[in-house]
């Protein structure tokens, strides 16, 4: 459970102060999905700059030079790789035919296998996300082909954002959430992992006074937006992990993804028993669905009530068969 956030200012209609305010409020709101570390990246004089700290966003002052075109940010809930070692935190630096910054929301569980299979260089970075950077670097190009290949190689939950040295922003939309919006009057794109984060940030920054439209992203999409606002897109083939019919998540205790393990570890902080989380997963809710429910008690109660109704219907059906 992490969060992505940022913006791409194509129209230069906002002041530096307004953009700093938007950045800080997006980061602060994104803390609901991760407080272990936070960071941003941007391009200055055609060079990628990364500023990150092993601290929650509200304790970090996000500053950047004037005339910056884009900010790509991340707040982290650590799963693999100690956040106290700042090199494990996002965004990460990468270099292919051009330099880039990379951020990830989700958990990859085949990173160790990919490192061996693809003979990737050894690195001191322990975070599972970094294998995606290495896969792009191995292809020596940052383009739709290399992103498509990378997205089809990794397994797990993900949405990736990439900012290159030309101020082109890429989105690789997997199963993890992403909310992207466009302010036509401002010629400004802004994004966050969830709509809730975005709404909080817009209200706090004062940008909620402007109308905007949602740019819909679906699983399997790869899009790029350059500094002029031009959008290009392609798709990758979604890899879905299929569980054997009739078995439950609780039967796979040794094969939980990191995201599932974190849900089970954290649910008690929200007053939700592990049994309820496992029940939701058994009935097909994704880890992102469950994350949202942990932060919305009404949504959680509605889902559990629905499952209870299904169980009662099934029990009644079995009873009717027995008495016939």
Q: At 11, is the secondary structure helix, strand, or coil?
A: coil
pLDDT in tens, 18-69: 999 999 999 999 999 899 999 999 999 999 999 999 999 999 999 999 999 9
pLDDT in tens, 129-160: 999 999 999 999 999 999 999 999 999 889 99
pLDDT in tens, 219-271: 999 999 999 999 999 999 997 654 333 334 444 444 456 567 777 777 877 78
- The pLDDT score that the predictor gives to residue 260 is 74
Contact 23, 40 (CB under 8 A): yes
- The pLDDT score that the predictor gives to residue 270 is 79
Token look-up 């990794």 returns 154
**Spatial separation of the C-alpha atoms in residues 253 and 261, rounded to whole Å:** 9
pLDDT in tens, 231-245: 999 999 997 654 333
* Nearby residues of 118 by Cβ (< 8 Å), 6 or more positions away: 134, 135, 138, 153
Can you give the residue ranges of every domain in the chain? 3-235, 249-323
CATH code matching the domain that covers 3-235, chosen among 3.20.20.70, 3.60.20.10, 3.40.50.2000, 3.90.78.10: 3.60.20.10
- The pLDDT score that the predictor gives to residue 60 is 95
**How does residue 323 score in pLDDT terms, banded at 50, 70 and 90?**
very low
- Rounded to two decimals, what is the model's pTM? 0.77
């Amino acid at each position: 459970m992490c969060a992505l956030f940022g913006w791409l200012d194509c129209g230069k209609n906002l002041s530096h102060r307004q953009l700093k305010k938007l950045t800080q409020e997006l980061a602060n709101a994104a803390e609901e999905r991760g407080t272990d570390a936070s960071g941003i990246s941007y391009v200055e004089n055609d060079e990628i700059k990364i500023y990150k700290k092993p601290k929650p966003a509200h304790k970090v002052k996000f500053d950047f030079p004037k005339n910056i075109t884009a900010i790509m940010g991340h707040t982290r809930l650590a799963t693999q790789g100690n956040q106290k070692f700042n090199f494990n935190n996002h965004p990460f630096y990468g270099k292919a035919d051009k330099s880039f910054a990379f951020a990830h929301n989700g958990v990859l569980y085949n990173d160790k296998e990919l490192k061996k299979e693809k003979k990737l260089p050894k690195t001191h970075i322990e975070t599972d996300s970094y294998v995606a950077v290495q896969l792009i670097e191995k292809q020596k190009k940052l383009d739709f082909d290399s992103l498509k290949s990378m997205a089809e190689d990794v397994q797990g939950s993900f949405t990736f954002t990439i900012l290159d040295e030309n101020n082109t922003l890429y989105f690789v939309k997997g199963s993890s959430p992403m909310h992207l919006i466009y302010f036509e009057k401002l010629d400004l794109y802004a994004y966050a992992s969830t709509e809730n984060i975005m709404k909080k940030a817009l209200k706090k920054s004062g940008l909620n006074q402007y109308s905007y439209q949602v740019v819909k992203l679906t699983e399997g999409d790869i899009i790029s937006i350059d500094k002029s606002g031009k959008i290009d897109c392609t798709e990758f083939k979604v890899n879905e992990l299929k569980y054997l019919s009739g078995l439950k998540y609780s039967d796979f205790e040794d094969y939980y993804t990191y995201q599932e393990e974190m849900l089970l570890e954290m649910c008690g902080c929200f007053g939700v028993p592990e049994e309820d989380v496992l029940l939701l997963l058994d009935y097909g809710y994704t880890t992102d669905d469950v994350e949202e429910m942990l932060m919305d008690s009404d949504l959680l109660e509605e889902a559990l009530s629905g499952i209870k109704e299904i169980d009662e219907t099934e029990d009644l059906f079995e009873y009717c068969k027995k008495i016939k």
